[in-house]
Structure 1
Amino acid sequence: MCADTTETTVPDYKTTLSLPKTDFPMRAGLPKREPDWLARWEKIGVYDRLREKEGRPAFTLHDGPPYANGHLHIGHALNKVLKDFIVRSQQMMGRDARYVPGWDCHGLPIEWKIEQKYREKGQNKDEVDVVDFRQECRRFAEGWIDIQREEFKRLGVTGNWADPYLTMNFHAERVIAEEFQKFLMNGTLYQGSKPVMWSPVEKTALAEAEVEYHDHKSHTIWVPFDVVSASDFPNTGACMDTDLLSARVVIWTTTPWTIPSNKAVAYNPAISYGLYEVTGTPEECWVKVGDTYLLADALAEEVLTKARLSDGQWTRVRDVSADELAGLTLAHPFRGVEGGEDFWDYDVPMIDGEHVTDEAGTGFVHTAPSHGQEDYDAFVKRGWMDRMTHNIGEAGEFLPHVPLFKGLEVITAKGKEGKANTAVIDKLVEVGGLIARGRMTHSYPHSWRSKAPVIYRNTPQWFAAIDREVGDGQDTYGKTIRERALTSIDKLVKWTPQTGRNRLYSMIEARPDWVLSRQRAWGVPLTCFVKRAAMPTDADFLLRDEAVNARILEAFEAEGADAWYKPGAKERFLGNDYDPSEWEQVFDILDVWFDSGSTHAFVLRDRPDGSEDGIADLYLEGTDQHRGWFHSSMLQACGTLGRAPYRGVLTHGFTLDEKGNKMSKSLGNTVAPEDVTKQYGADILRLWVAQADYTADLRIGPEILKGTADGYRRLRNTLRYMLGAVTHFTEDQRVDAKDMPELERYILHRLAELDHVVREGYAAYDFQGVYQQLFNFCTVELSAFYFDIRKDALYCDGDTARRRAARTVMDLLFHRLTTWLAPILVFTMEEVWLERFPGDDSSIHLQDIPETPKDWLDEPLAAKWQMVRRARRVVTAALEVQRTDKVIGASLEAAPVVHVREPDMLEALKSVAFEDVCITSDIFLTGDPMPNEAYRMPEVEGVGVVFEKAEGEKCQRCWKILPDVGHHAHPATCKRCNAALD
């Protein structure tokens, strides 16, 4: 340029634009910042301030107590975050949503840890004073409660953390004892001797909920029982064929250690049986030519093959009828064994049983009533309770009175197989009591604490009878615990998902009586006394006295359950009315599931922040709690309240790794909540929960969390833009909905639709559905549509009605999006809220979701704008082709011709500023037929786009290319920008 050339310099118009202004950072920095928000909420007392809101209907989510031992795992995080979603969303929808967190504190896991300390020091736990031992257990639980409380709070979970419920609090122990006494007084408590699942490692009975199933390699044996007599048919008078007198009935079992306790052999009259004779044998074999065996026809070939016989080495002699089987008497395999001391010299009857099948085994079932539920039931049915055996001790060892095997363990103290099985097998081989043996891997019950196999063992235990009429007069939903439970499941409880109903119903429909007692020390004792000289069936066996009960409860309230174990406790509680020498104090403790099943009484009923009617609106736990807390709470409450303690039950799945495998420390595929919060922040973990279908098992891992974080960043960008757009927005700038442009009214329509979706979704606990709708709205309808279109008006317009309307909508969006998302992204929404409304007492979590005017809904307008959006998709796709081909750099360089076939759509597009909608400088709409070169999209029929470049000069303020640029007072501006500058 020559020095003397005159040039007009175009001003820098950037400073004249109304660019968004916000300090809201792009990078969240959640791991460092979230603890500050937690401290802030605690300082301003958010949870307590919400309780001060009067006149709101209550909503009570009752917390299923986690166990107070060990750091949280990802399953804990899933559970507590889901609960927090519900509590917060219900609160923001106008309820008084109370949440009292709690802990299970009694039971074997804690007791086991304390015993382990003793073992490491070479001490014997039984030599320690029981009260001192219980105090150690209490201190152990207290320590872990403090740790877990802080870990739960770190996840952003709201609740009454300052005053949680603990099953070991004195009042709680008093109420648990009181609830037990109701069973004592209403006639459902009894002592019985029956087989229960028993852990030889932990030396206690286990409930079904304390058992998990793992693969286990067991011995398999095929044992023949000699027929010793056969009676004539009682109905016909016909004589029994003598060929059965030399036959042997073959049973199959995977528990050889139960053979010494055999008392019968069962068959099924519906099965086809035959008599089989051995006609040839290999060199090494436990059967002999001429032996005859009774077998189910469907299994005979398999059994004889296991006995090492080949085809042609046996023959089927004849059919054997059910009447014939019923008349047989067998000898125990150890009958007459040397050293047996006549222990097994008794007759073994044949009994019929529907549980016998011909799908596996031999078609005959070895029956040891002390070691199997079906075996026990068969003996109860026949009144043969005097034939029960007591051969196995609490360490899983044969007791001293059992010849040949005394002291041999089934399971050792370390959870390994003892010598009992092999000893029994060896003795069977020695006496000719085996025709085959093997090993098989199958699903077998294990203690979920020690992970060791369990056994069925006959032992005196205390039970709640679930089919006995409850003598409490609360018969609205049934007279027995089972009837009340089944009625509650069907008529009183809403199940989420509905499959939970079927699972619990079938469990309770088929379950036996509830085993209440455990042979341990850390827990609430069964506060009852039994008469020394009486039998469990005697009317005066149990002491039922309200005055005695009251003295016990008074002591527990003041001293806790330790009062039961202190010197002189028996005399103190019996008082002057009973001779202590005539009564025995029961020292078994209650099943810990009775503790947690009773929580409704001391939390929902007794606490001021419980439930007005003592019933929870919701119980929420994992699917395993159908056999755990949901189950025990139902049984317990049906025995004391007469109905379920909850109106709703929600269940979630388990957590798996990214490949769908079960998490295991040994596999190294676990995800610790603490690690996630350190790397990403708790909001990312919460977002993972919200995005997943919790009704199924949930996968989590590094790649899944990375994807969750990427989605979070997209959402954060939307929120950041919105914050910038409402900077300095004041009420005097607000525009009524009726005065807004169509585009704004369409967004309001979408807000009204979403308000319904969000409220319905939160009410149905569909967090995945809520978040997906909101995420799509933010990223697709706002960022990629509305914000994209209105960016020009927000930046470049002066104080126009259009800009004021857009800013009003941004404000309305702000209040709804922050409250809609606050239950999920608790920290991020607090950050967004405080960015706009700072203040010492300010918090998004003190707000409710705003009510949305019904007149925002405008279906005809929405239908019109759906057409506009469909046409826009074709235009933006056509321009993207030109951008990719580097024909243009930005859409404002274009002025496309849009051919529209349908008159309704053409009219709709002409009635709006379609060039602004498509972010082009100009646009031409026509109903003329589409030329061949027009760009089309198969999914949007009837719309074609022919690309044309915009004519004119580029406005240096808004960057639109228009013919009038340069013809106004302000250099290089268009008419709109010139007016804005004026």
Structure 2
Amino acid sequence: MCADTTTPAVDYKATLNLPKTAFPMRAGLPKREPDWLARWERIGIYDQLRDRAEGRAPFTLHDGPPYANGNLHIGHALNKILKDFIVRSQQMMGRDARYIPGWDCHGLPIEWKIEEKYRDKGRDKDQVPVIEFRKECRDFASHWIGVQRDEFKRLGVTGNWADPYLTMDFHAERVIAEEFQKFLMNGVLYQGSKPVMWSPIEKTALAEAEVEYHDKESFAIWVRFPVAGAEGTPLDGADVVIWTTTPWTIPSNKGVVYHPDIAYGLYQVTEAPEDNWVKPGDKLLLADKLAADCFAKARVDAYERLGDAGDLSALKVRHPFAGIEGGQGEWDQPRDFRAAPFVTDEDGTGFVHCAPSHGMDEYELYRDAGMLTEVLTYNVMDDGSFREDLPLFGGKRILKPNGKEGDANKAVIDKLADVGGLLARGKIKHSYPHSWRSKAPVIYRNTPQWFAAIDRDVEDGQDSYGTTIRERALTSIDELVTWTPKTGRNRLYSMIKSRPDWVLSRQRAWGVPLTCFTKKGALPTDPEFLLRNAEVNARILDAFEAEGADAWYQDGAKERFLGGVVNPEDYDQVFDILDVWFDSGSTHAFVLRDRQDGSDDGLADLYLEGTDQHRGWFHSSMLQACGTIGRAPYRGVVTHAFTLDEKGNKMSKSLGNTIEPEQVVKQYGADILRLWVAQTDYVHDHRIGPEILKGVADSYRRLRNTIRFMLGSLADFSEGDRVEPADMPELERWVLHRLSELDQAVREGYEAYDFQGVFQKVFNFATLDLSAFYFDIRKDALYCDGDTPRRRAARTVLDILFHRLTGWLAPILVFTMEEVWLERFPGDDSSVHLTDMPDTPADWRDEPLAEKWAAIRRARRVVTSALEVQRVDKVIGASLEAAPVVHVQDAEMLAALKSVNFDDICITSDLSLTADPSPAEAFRMPEVDGVGVVFEKAEGQKCQRCWKILPDVGSHAHEGVCGRCEEALD
């Protein structure tokens, strides 16, 4: 809407400095990203980075090895992308950031897959030669390593993919054995028989990290243990009542315990149904607090309290199966009866039945009492069945081979009912440990296992952090390691403070064996029970280095390793394998210490994994290293939480709510997945889903639009166009000030692993400070000015912005920033990832200037809001049709506005500033006090080149242009 529309329009478009760029608005990432991956492979970018970083301070993020047995899930993607952010940002901030990806290759999950294949073909695993079986496991792991490596690389993750570390490499197996031998030689290794978590389905002991908890419906029974030796007392004929959710442990009972501070009473049943197990006249010992509930469960109609239970310390009890027909005397001996600190009156009866072979509390109670040899039983076999010669129950199974309920519990309950030992029964739903591999319940089972004592002095002279593994670990946690978030410290500290000795052995075949020998006929407590011989150890290690751990299983291995040192006939060879967590816990030795591209001091600057690794890799690595090098193997630990679906639910294939990384990459590209990670508060549980990804893609589009504008205006920029900061207009110097602030914030954010904070700051700067403010203002000068100092200054700032934005965002948007870089700097060896984040001069920081421009932006907001009202009302079509009068009350703000071209700042054709009070009709904003805007239309004609409406249009040699455009055209 011009004041005069009689001037014929002339097409001046060709005279404008319009953007020139081949950078497309539509990214096409799914199709284009593989080309950049191939390019990086071709130019050997990771190797180039190592060459360029020579002499720099090293930074080593040690990769926690994923397990080689399936495609990646979203947790894998989050983890590896976070690691890549760190490695790339540290490299671009001046470090030698090394990253050696690795894989965990041994252990039950792979062995289980091979066994499943055998079962499908009707083969018996135990009939397959162990070396043949191990080869199949190795081949299986190799296949999935190849698959996962390609999937990780597709996410844009940089690292030494050509030479990763594998726990099944021969050198790795040698070092794992060597680390075990250190435990053997320094006195912390011992063989003990104690209850451990056992998987009857997989026939092996499990570590806490191999267990997950799910709801399970269990039998619950209330059982009578008759009081013995109370003739002539009120307790004569009474029963002590226990409650348990594991009926199958009753045949292994060796005692009943109580708490000395719990109030117990002697109760007598007065009324009960005729068909009830409990009869009128029955006398029962119960905790007073739990008596009413117990009688309700037993369907007792009425009862009375006869009095206090009295002194319990002199009592004995009999097993409910004592004297049972066919029992062969198995349960005829009196059961122990004593006080124990772990008994409570929160549920049950206030009495606890003890089967020390199937519970750690009971085990420790009788261990401390020196009675283990009297109370340990070996009734349960490795498949969860009762030993064949156990009277009445031989061969009964706790679990079927498919993990479902077996017949043991029912058999025990039925027999208790037959002998009158049952008070009540029912079922209870509770959280119960399950194997995370087979998903089947686990049991506590007493078996001979190999342990690392964590409270025994380690005989290695490395006592700076303590003398025991536990003491060294707790000291390392507090004095050595930085935790992100800090709650990680508390989690690991509490776990290690209260944990038992480490169960090192597994009864499987695919892994590194416990390379030790035991003296025939010697007891585990005898000094000569374990062979500790340096020459034997060296022979084993040499063989493993050359042949891998298969050497342990070759015919004649015992004679090969012992011959000429000791008599092989005097020793037994141990064939248990090491807990797979010992393998991964040892990686610091064969990766950080032994590799040329490892760590200079054998320690990692950082471990980064999920919160579940406080009981997994963080934990085992800490214990293992404290037993071999006397301290933690890491200086820093970062933990991320779990990824949920869009509604906050745990992802599950059965629920159909999983988001697979491959799906996201195919639909959006890896950079969108990486951007989702950058926008995620990873230290807390976080969400992903279709709508969330759409939002991420929108953020990406807005950022890409900002970059495209920048590239378009830099098409022919050269060093001859550069302007020194001192010669720039204030607006450009304000941008440099913001860059100075942002550079510090970005670097601090990357150092703190706060990627969400980094991206939010850069994104807000790009979209609000640049696109919505600086670019909006300077678009006119960039397009319409001739070769003016203002335009050169703006383009200089755009060049500076280019280098900072690409540098700051390259660790996150690896593909897009490479595309942006190559748009300006094409070439076979050109890559943004071979650059560092540019240093920012200190003199760019100008706080007074920033305060001044903060005031200018506040006033501008009032003007643009006033003009938006007119646009919505269709009084104007664009802000260039306006020439508002701005009333400014504050003298300092008014002076600031007059010192700049405020009409250009507000993108109007003209603008008047006045200290006069705002009239009543002026537009105001409550949050910007003292500024009022009165709308006026611009006077004059519309310039056919820049579209400003000015009085001088039509008075110059070139038709229909203003004076500024006239100069540009000349």
Report what 1:96 is aligned to: 96
1:651 corresponds to: 639
1:380 equivalenced with 2:367 (yes/no):
yes
Partner SS, residue 315 of structure 1: strand
The one-letter code matched in structure 1 to 2:287 is A
Q: Describe the superposition over 1:703-727 as per-residue Cα deviations: whole angstroms up to 9, x where unpaired.
A: 1111111110000000000101111
Partner of 2:947, secondary structure, is: coil
Whether the 8 Å contact between 2:7 and 2:960 is mirrored in structure 1 is no
Secondary structure of 2:400's counterpart equals coil
* 1:343 and 2:330 matched: yes
Structure 1 position 14 matched with structure 2 position 24: no
Deviation, 1:973, is: 1.1
1:246 Cα deviation from its structure 2 partner? 2.2
Moved more, 929-938 or 947-956: 929-938
Q: Which residue number corresponds to residue 3 of structure 2?
A: none
Amino acid at match of 2:285: L
Q: Any residues of structure 2 matched to 1:558-707 within 5 Å, and which?
A: 558-707=546-695
| Distance in 2, Cα, partners of 1:766 & 1:501 | 18
CA–CA distance in structure 2, aligned partners of residues 912 and 326 of structure 1: 94
2:294 pairs, out of 277, 286, 303, with 303
Q: Which one-letter code corresponds to 1:45 in the other structure?
A: G
- Offset of 1:272 from its aligned partner? 1.6
Identify the residue that residue 255 of structure 2 maps to in structure 1.
264
Instruction: Using the TM superposition, give the Cα deviation of residue 867 of structure 1 relative to its aligned residue in structure 2, in angstroms.
Output: 0.6
Which deviations, in whole Å up to 9, do the C-alpha atoms of 1:422-448 show, x marking residues without a partner?
Answer: 110000011111111111110000000
Tell me, in whole angstroms, the C-alpha distance in 2 between the residues paired with 1:703 and 1:934.
Answer: 42
Q: State the partner residue of 1:742.
A: 730
2:240 corresponds, among 239, 249, 262, to 249
| Partner residue in 1 for 2:217 | 217
Contact 2:466 2:475 in 1 (8 A): yes
1:93-115 Cα deviation digits (max 9, x unpaired): 00000000000000001111111
Instruction: Tell me by how many angstroms 1:327 deviates.
Output: 1.4
What is aligned with 2:507?
A: 519
Task: Give distance in 2, aligned partners of 1:284 and 1:731.
Answer: 102
Query: Per-residue CA shift, 1:77-133, capped at 9, x if unaligned?
Result: 000000000000000000000000000000001111111111111111111110011
Partner of 2:309: 320
Deviation digits for residues 434-483 of structure 1 (CA, Å, limit 9, x no counterpart): 11111111000000000000000000000000000000000000000000
**Alignment match, 1:233:** none
Report whether the alignment pairs 1:358 with 2:349.
Answer: no
Please give the alpha-carbon distance, in whole angstroms, between the structure 2 residues aligned to 1:560 and 1:772: 49
Q: Which residue of 2 aligns with 1:440?
A: 428
Q: Does 1:869 align with 2:857?
A: yes
Show structure 1 runs of 4+ deviating over 2 A. 7-11
Picking from 495, 520, 524, the partner of 2:483 is 495
Rounded to whole Å, the distance in 2 between the matches of 1:685 and 1:229 is 73
Which one-letter code corresponds to 1:29 in the other structure?
Answer: G
Asked if 1:720 is matched to 2:711, the reply is no
Q: Map Cα deviations across residues 665-723 of structure 1 (whole Å, 9 max, x no partner).
A: 11111111111100000000000000000001121111111111111000000000010
Structure 1 residues 241 and 506: CA distance shift in structure 2, 3 A:
farther
For residue 33 of structure 1, what is the amino acid of its counterpart?
R
Residues 735-789 of structure 1 deviation map (CA, whole Å, 9 limit, x = unaligned): 1111110000000000000000000000000000000001111111100000000
Q: Once the 2 structures are TM-superposed, how far is the Cα of residue 169 of structure 1 from its aligned partner?
A: 0.2
Residue 148 of structure 2 aligns with which residue? 148
SS at match of 1:812: helix
Cα distance in 1 for partners of 2:219, 2:915 equals 84
1:51-90 mapped onto 2 (5 Å cutoff):
51-53=50-52, 54-90=54-90
What letter corresponds to residue 187 of structure 1 in structure 2? Answer: G
- Aligned mates of 2:8, 2:756 — CA distance in 1: 56
Task: Give the secondary structure class of the aligned counterpart of 1:951.
Answer: coil
Residues 151-171 of structure 1, C-alpha deviations (whole Å, 9 max, x = no match): 000000000000000000000
1:114-263 equivalences under 5 Å are 114-230=114-230, 242-263=233-254
Distance in 2, Cα, partners of 1:713 & 1:674: 21
**2:405 matched residue in structure 1:** 417
Structure 1 residue 241: deviation in Å? 7.9
1:155-211 CA distance string (max 9 Å, x none): 000000000000000000000000000000000000000000000110000000000
Match of 1:786 in 2: 774
1:8 shift after superposition: 7.3
Whole-angstrom distance in 2 between the partners of 1:931 and 1:364: 87
SS of alignment partner, residue 51 of structure 1: helix
Distance, in Å, in 2 between the alignment partners of 1:351 and 1:805 is 88
Q: Give the letter for the 1:325 counterpart.
A: L
Query: What SS is found at the alignment partner of 1:650?
Result: strand
Matched-pair contact (CA < 8 Å) for 2:808–2:837: yes
Give 1:579 shift: 1.5
Aligned to 1:237: none
Cα distance per residue 1:222-241 (max 9 Å; x no partner): 111110025xxxxxxxxx98
Partners in 2 of 1:940 and 1:314 — Cα distance?
79
Question: How far apart are 1:20 and its partner, in Å?
Answer: 1.0
SS in 2 for 1:145: helix
Q: Distance in 1 between matches of 2:758 and 2:881?
A: 39
Is the partner of 2:358 in helix, strand or coil?
Answer: coil
Give the CA deviation at 1:909: 1.1
For 2:499 and 2:601, locate their aligned partners in 1 and report how far apart those are by CA, in whole Å: 29
- Deviation at residue 27 of structure 1 after TM alignment: 0.3
Change (3 A) 1:283 1:878: farther
> Which residue pairs with 1:966 in the alignment?
954
Q: CA deviation at 1:11?
A: 2.9
Name the aligned partner's letter for residue 420 of structure 1: A
1:827 maps to which residue?
A: 815
Q: Unpaired segments of 5 or more residues in structure 1? A: 1-6, 231-239
> Aligned AA for 2:85?
F
Q: Which residue of 2 aligns with 1:4?
A: none
What do the CA deviations read for 1:542-588 (whole angstroms, capped 9, x no partner)? 00000000000000000000000000000000021222211000000
Aligned to 1:879: 867
In structure 2, C-alpha distance between the alignment counterparts of 1:629 and 1:957, rounded to whole Å: 66
Per-residue deviation, 1:245: 2.7
| Corresponding residue SS for 2:229 | strand
**Where does residue 34 of structure 2 map in the other structure?**
35
Q: When the two structures are superposed, what TM-score results if normalisation uses the length of structure 1? A: 0.97
Quick one: distance in 2 between partners of 1:657 and 1:351? Answer: 51
Q: Is the 8 A contact 2:107 2:580 kept in 1?
A: yes
Letter in 1 for 2:624: Q
CA distance, structure 1, for counterparts of residue 341 and residue 23 of structure 2: 71
1:34: Cα distance to partner?
0.2
How many angstroms apart in 1 are the aligned matches of 2:100 and 2:726?
46
2: distance between equivalents of 1:351 and 1:690? 58
CA contact (8 A) 2:7 2:954 kept: no
Pick aligned residue for 1:768 from 756, 761, 765: 756
**CA deviation map 1:813-832 (0-9, x unaligned):** 00000010000000000000
Matches within 5 A, 1:440-459: 440-459=428-447
Q: How many residues align structurally?
A: 963
The TM-score with structure 2 as length reference comes to: 0.99
TM superposition shift of 1:10: 4.3
Shift of 1:283: 3.2
Which stretch shifts more, 761-770 or 48-57? 48-57
Q: CA deviation at 1:874?
A: 1.1
Identity of aligned residues (%): 74
